[in-house]
Amino acid sequence: MTTVFVSHPQSKLVHYFGDRATAALRDIAQVTQVRFNPTDTDLSSAEIAELAKDCDALISYRQTVGDEALFAALPKLKAFVRCAIDIRNIDVASASRHGVLVTQASAGFIASVSEWIVGVMIDLGRHVSASAEGYHAGRPVAPAMGRELRGSTLGVIGYGQISRYLCDVALALGMRTVVHDPFARIERAGLEQVGFDALLARSDFVVCLAAATEATENLMDARAFAAMQRHAFFVNAARGNLVDEDALLAALDAGTIAGCALDVGRAPDQMPSPRVAAHPRVIATPHIGGLTPPAVEHQAMETVSQLAEIFQGRAPKGAVNAAEAYRWQQAFGVRT
């Protein structure tokens, strides 16, 4: 008997997993039982341990913490399958000590997030939200001169999968595009690789898509915002950890930058912080950049496919510790 536990809160299950993935999960030949988080909250390790006892695999919602307490409390768990790309709250070393395989999903939200970025750049440059807010409040709204994307300079911090897609879109729109990433060699025609300070000084729109690491904590600080042009806009679609929020608010108050758009922040579940989102020069959305049916279904269906491979004794693409996952290896006859 092979049992799988899905940790998504009930209200998140449809949006972040979906009926198609649920049906596909039940159709895996080796799966005999699927259990779901019966609550509408993010479960603690102790709560998961109680609900998922005797389970062979756990499909993890992005807020589910995989820590030492969880892996120690589930002696029959063979796989911790992450329905997200970010595994920073998973203690992979602990999972390895307990022989549990950890996987992560790939980025299915490349187009979705890129489109969100283009949308907020247009919004910022053409004062769309500000005008709408004035009309909603019953105030007279004066026409404001806008900025076209065509001919503007886009500065992209980080050159991962989303950045590559976004840069292609920006070039198609006629934007001059500069990129900073010390770990990438950029050879795409039309792109210019520049230093961090040069990007800040030259860009009309600064888009942060760098990975969140210890090295990039508060990458956008007071010095960085001071290096931007006063008419420039800042867009963060990566992680809140990359931004010093006090410095951002100070830059907005002082007019050091013209405004910003945020889909992420330091609030729970990677949401924008309320104090930043409330600023009149901020456009904030509740982490919806990747919240489209194709983007969500990509990761959910990939997670189910990973699980099918795991139960057949194969390490799927996305496995991060297959060599150390002895419990999984022994259960499914994996040869190392």
- Residue 284 contacts residue 276 (beta carbons within 8 Å): yes
Confidence at 107, pLDDT banded by 50, 70, 90: confident
Taking each helix axis as running N to C, give the angle between helix 110-126 and helix 293-311, from 0 to 180 degrees, rounded to the nearest 10: 160
Judged by phi (left if over 0) then psi (alpha if -120 to 50, else beta), residue 169 lies in alpha
Q: What is the mean pLDDT of residues 166-194?
A: 96
Confidence at 288, pLDDT banded by 50, 70, 90: very high
pLDDT recorded at residue 105: 94
Reply yes or no on whether the pLDDT at 335 is more than 80.
no
Mean pLDDT of the chain: 95
Of 248, 251, 250, the C-alpha closest to 262 is 248
Share of the chain above pLDDT 90, in %: 90
Give the whole-angstrom CA distance, residue 9 versus residue 163.
Answer: 31
Q: What tens digit of pLDDT does each residue of 43-88 get?
A: 999 999 999 999 999 999 989 999 999 999 999 999 999 998 889 8
Q: State pTM to two decimals.
A: 0.87
User: CA dihedral defined by 114, 120, 124, 125, rounded to 10 degrees?
Assistant: 50
pLDDT recorded at residue 336: 62
Cα 115–131–146 angle (5° rounding)?
65
Q: What tens digit of pLDDT does each residue of 249-273 get?
A: 999 999 999 999 999 999 988 899 9
- The single-letter DSSP state of residue 177 is E
Q: What tens digit of pLDDT does each residue of 224-258 get?
A: 999 999 999 999 999 999 999 999 999 999 999 99
Of 175, 189, 157, 158, the C-alpha closest to 118 is 175
Q: Greater confidence, 170 or 334?
A: 170
User: Could you give all domains of the chain from N- to C-terminal order, each with its CATH number?
Assistant: 3-107+292-331 (3.40.50.720), 110-284 (3.40.50.720)
pLDDT recorded at residue 257: 98
Here the tokens at position 15 are 């949006």
Beta bridge partners of 193: 179
Q: What sections of the chain are H helices per DSSP?
A: 10-16, 19-27, 45-51, 68-73, 92-97, 110-126, 128-136, 161-172, 196-202, 222-227, 245-254, 274-277, 293-311, 326-331
Cα four-point dihedral sign 151, 229, 164, 192? positive
